[in-house]
Structure 1
Amino acid sequence: MAEDVLKTGTTTIGIRYKDGVVLATDQRATMGNIIAHSNVQKLYQLSDNLGMTIAGVVGDAQLMVRYMQSEIALYEMKKGAPMSVNAAATYVANAIRQGFYLGLIVGGYDKTGGHVFSIDGAGGYIEDNFMSVGSGSVFALGALQAAYKEDMSKDEAVDVAVTALNSAVKRDSASGDGMLVAYIDADGYHDVPNEEIRTRLASQGYKYPN
C-alpha cells in the first residue's frame, strides 16, 4: 500500500462490563510518517444498540460505516427488532472480505447482554471480554489485561478504557490527539463527554493527549 494513503494509525478498544460494553479510540490519522489529522472520528454509532471502532484506511472505514448503518436500518425495518451484536459482527465480517483494509471492533447490547467482537481484514471475528485493535494495541492490551474484571461497573470500565488508551498514545507514534469513548447498555448508545474523559484522566494523574 502506498505510503501517501490516509490511515487512522490508531488504538481502538472494546470492553465488556457487567451491564454493557465500552468502546474507545484515539483521534490521530497519519500519512506515512506524517500526522495528517488530529480530530478523526474512529468511533461510530451504528444504531441505538450497536457501535463500531475503526482502524485502517480512512476511506474504507467511512464506506464500511455507511454500509453497516444502511444494512442495520433495513434489517430493523424488516424484522421490527434490533439487530443482535453477533449478527452485526457477521455482516461486517462478510463485507470486509471484499477488500477493505481495516481492523474493526463491533460492540453492543442485545437481549443476551453486552458483547464485543474484533474483526480482521480476512473476515475472521472473535468475541472476547476485552480487546484492542490497531498500531497501539500491543500497549493497550497490557493495561487491559492488568485491570480487567468481569463484574466491572460502567464507571470502572470507562476508567480502564481511558487508562489503556493513555498507555498506547504515550508509546505509539500513530496514536494520539484526543480520545473518544462511548458505552452501550440496555438504555442505548451513550457518548462520554470530553470533559468527563479529561476529569477521569486527571484523577489518575494523566494528562489528556493533545
Structure 2
Amino acid sequence: MDKLQKFGSSNAQGVEMSRYPYVTGTSVIALKYKDGVIMACDTGASYGSTLRYKSVERIKAVGKHSLIGASGEFSDFQEILRYLDELTLSDHMWDDGNSLGPKEVHSYLTRVMYNRRNKFDPLWNSLVLGGVKKGPKGEEKYLGMVNMIGTHFEENHIATGFGNHLAIPILRAEWCEDMTFEEAVKLVEKCLLVLLYRDRSSINKFQIAKITTEGATIYPPYSLKTHWGFAAFENPSKGAVGSW
C-alpha cells in the first residue's frame, strides 16, 4: 500500500502524520452582542474518554483585535497559536500603523487548515475567531469558524462540537443583536449548562472572554449552579426500548 494511501502513516518526507486526536477539548460557544463578541468554553481536556486535565485554557487573544477559541486536539491548538504568534509579530514589524483584524486572521486560518487537510495531515480542531475593529464604516464586529478540513463561515452566533447540536437551537431562539454584555453572559451560561448536563466530556469549570474596541478580556474560570434532580437523570433507563 502506498504510504499516503493509508491515513495516519508517514508522508513522503518521513514526517509522522496525525493519526487521531489524543488530548481534546469540547464545545466552544461564541456570539456577537451590542458592544463586541463574547466567547466561552469549559477548561477540561480529555485523554480519550478520561477527563484528564481540568485547568486547560482554550481561549486566547490574537493581536489587538481578536479572540480565538478551539475544540479538538489541544497540542494542535498550541501549534496554531505558534503560527498566529509568528503572524502577529511579522505584522507588527511592518510598523505601518495598521494591524490585522479578525477577518484577516480568520482568512489566514482557513488557508492553514485547508493546506494541512490537503497534505492528509490535518490539524484536528474546530476554531472560533471573533473580534472587533474600527473600519471605514465604523466599528465592525466579526465572528467566524473554520474546521479541520478548511470549511469556514461567518455567523452571528457559533457553537462547535456537541454544542453544534444542543446550543445552536437555543442561540437561534434567544439571540438578538442588541444584547447587553450581561444578557449575553446569561445566554452563554444557559448553553454551557445544557452541555454540562448532556456532554460527558464537559466539566463545571468555565471561562468566559469578551472583546470590544477597548481590547480583549479573559475572565478567571468559575463554576455554575447545577440541579441534578430531574426525573430523567434519576431513572435514565425508564421507558427505554430494549434491556439495559
Alpha-carbon deviation of 1:2? 5.9
Asked whether 1:148 is paired with 2:171, we answer no
Q: Distance in 2 between matches of 1:57 and 1:11?
A: 12
Moved more, 29-38 or 59-68: 29-38
Letter in 2 for 1:127: E
Asked whether 1:90 is paired with 2:107, we answer yes
Aligned partners of 2:44 and 2:51 also within 8 Å:
yes
Partner residue of 2:23?
Answer: 6
Taking only the aligned residue pairs, the percentage that are identical comes to: 24
Partner residue of 1:68?
Answer: 84
Alpha-carbon deviation of 1:187? 0.4
Aligned partners of 2:21 and 2:72 also within 8 Å:
no
Partner residue of 1:57?
Answer: 73
Q: Of the candidates 129, 150, 156, which is equivalent to residue 106 of structure 1?
A: 129
Letter in 1 for 2:167: A
Partner residue of 2:236?
Answer: none
Q: Distance in 1 between matches of 2:21 and 2:98?
A: 42
Query: Is the partner of 2:143 in helix, strand or coil?
Result: strand
Aligned partners of 2:29 and 2:163 also within 8 Å:
no
Aligned partners of 2:21 and 2:73 also within 8 Å:
no
Partner residue of 2:52?
Answer: 36
Query: Is the partner of 1:83 in helix, strand or coil?
Result: coil
Alpha-carbon deviation of 1:87? 0.5
Letter in 2 for 1:172: D
Greater CA radius of gyration, 1 or 2?
A: 2
Partner residue of 1:131?
Answer: 158
Q: Of the candidates 134, 154, 158, which is equivalent to residue 185 of structure 2?
A: 158
Q: Which of 1 and 2 has higher RCO (CA within 8 Å, sep 6+)? A: 1
Partner residue of 1:180?
Answer: 207
Number of positions where the alignment pairs a residue of Structure 1 with one of Structure 2: 199
Letter in 1 for 2:129: V
Letter in 1 for 2:51: I
Q: Distance in 2 between matches of 1:126 and 1:176?
A: 28
Higher helix share: 1
Q: Distance in 2 between matches of 1:101 and 1:42?
A: 14
Aligned partners of 1:14 and 1:105 also within 8 Å:
yes
Moved over 2 A (4+): 1-4
Structure 1 residue runs without a partner (length 5+): none
Partner residue of 1:27?
Answer: 43
**Aligned CA-pair RMSD:** 2.0
Query: Is the partner of 1:159 in helix, strand or coil?
Result: helix
Structure 2 residue runs without a partner (length 5+): 1-17, 117-121, 228-244
Q: TM-score, normalised by structure 1?
A: 0.87
